[in-house]
Amino acid sequence: TLRLNAPLADVAERASAAAPAADSRARILMCAPDHFAVDYVINPWMEDQIGRTQRTQARAQWENLRLHLAREAALAYVPSAPGLPDMVFTANAGLVIGETVVVTRFHAKERRPEEDLFRAWFERAGFSTAAWPDKVAFEGAGDALFDRARGLIWCGHGWRSSEEAPPLIERIFETRAVGLRLVDPRFYHLDTCLCPLPGGWLLYYPQAFDERSRDVIATLVPAEFRIELDEREAASFACNAIAIGDRIFLNACPPRLERRLREAGLSPVVTPLSEFVRAGGAAKCLTLELPPTRADLSSLRL
């Protein structure tokens, strides 16, 4: 049977999480939705949603995502905690590259108590935690997305993470970090409006960014590699996608996007997550990719 809320992952996962994987499968950190709910409002999606999430439905949707991912990746679990309803969104645990993690410094006060729990998990899993200034908000992989094809880290700021975060990230990981300013409160984390895809495609919602940031994207990503969504498409959390191999897991896949993905040789897998959308998150938010190892970083090519 599956232990979903094991006291600190399975022994095997704990021993090896920071070491290069024996197989080359992706590794993903999740947190069971035992205590998931909307108890406060820290983004526009949560307005009017307090107390409206359905526990059984949330569990079933999360479980469906988990089972899909388990076919493609090795999964690890951080124990959930009472009173921390958003801890299920492990994208916000930190940013991991190689054996180093920057543990999240939440802008959202409601989520600050998660920091110590995530830090404890990373330490016990063998990652080394980088020093980070308390006063600089940075919400982890929610606002920092590694683009393998370009060997850079896209960093979102403006709502949750500070503009000061990208230069710090760049220094810690010795990898170019490109700051992008987010201007629409519904797209408050970078992973709600941008997703680097295998093969060098970039899925994003341009209007979530200020003009300068849109120009930066256009400079770094050739037009034929940009997959731009409109407002409706983006509001379905289609950018909040997990790419593993040639599969793309996402809450919803609007027809135009499906066509583009298939043309690019990618297969969308829709895993509906409406209960989590009430809290402002979907597929990508519910996961944290462990490593990209240094080896991945050095063999990059578009």
Q: Looking at the annotation, which residues are catalytic?
A: 189, 285
Nearer to ligand ARG, 18 or 38 (CB): 38
CA gap 12, 122 in Å, rounded: 14
**Shortest reach from residue 112's CB to ligand ARG, in Å:** 11
**Shortest reach from residue 120's CB to ligand ARG, in Å:** 20
Asked if 124 contacts 78 with a C-beta cutoff of 8 angstroms, the reply is no
Nearer to ligand ARG, 112 or 262 (CB): 112
- Give the phi and the psi of residue 72 in degrees, each rounded to 5: -110, -20
Of 192, 172, 171, which is closest to residue 180 (Cα–Cα)?
192
Asked if 133 contacts 157 with a C-beta cutoff of 8 angstroms, the reply is no
Distance of CA 51 to the CA centre of its chain: 25
**Shortest reach from residue 142's CB to ligand ARG, in Å:** 3
- Give the phi and the psi of residue 146 in degrees, each rounded to 5: -75, 130
How would DSSP label each residue in 211-222? HHHHHHHHHHS-
Nearer to ligand ARG, 100 or 251 (CB): 251
**Shortest reach from residue 275's CB to ligand ARG, in Å:** 12
Reported as half-sphere exposure (CB side, CA atoms, 13 A), residue 19 has a value of 7
Nearer to ligand ARG, 189 or 264 (CB): 189
Alpha helices in the chain (DSSP H): 11-16, 55-70, 114-124, 165-173, 211-220, 231-234, 255-263, 274-277, 294-298
**Shortest reach from residue 111's CB to ligand ARG, in Å:** 6
Binding site for ligand ARG (CB under 6 A): 42-43, 46, 86, 89, 91-92, 108, 111, 142, 189, 191-192, 279-281, 285
The pair of three-digit structure tokens given for residue 26, joined into one six-digit string: 């992706």
Question: Residue with the closest Cβ to ligand ARG?
Answer: 142
Rounded to 5°, the CA angle 253-259-264 comes to 105
Nearer to ligand ARG, 111 or 260 (CB): 111
Nearer to ligand ARG, 38 or 264 (CB): 38
Give the other-Cβ count within 10 Å of 87's Cβ: 25
Edge-to-edge order in the sheet of strand 73-77:
73-77, 26-30, 288-290
**Shortest reach from residue 131's CB to ligand ARG, in Å:** 23
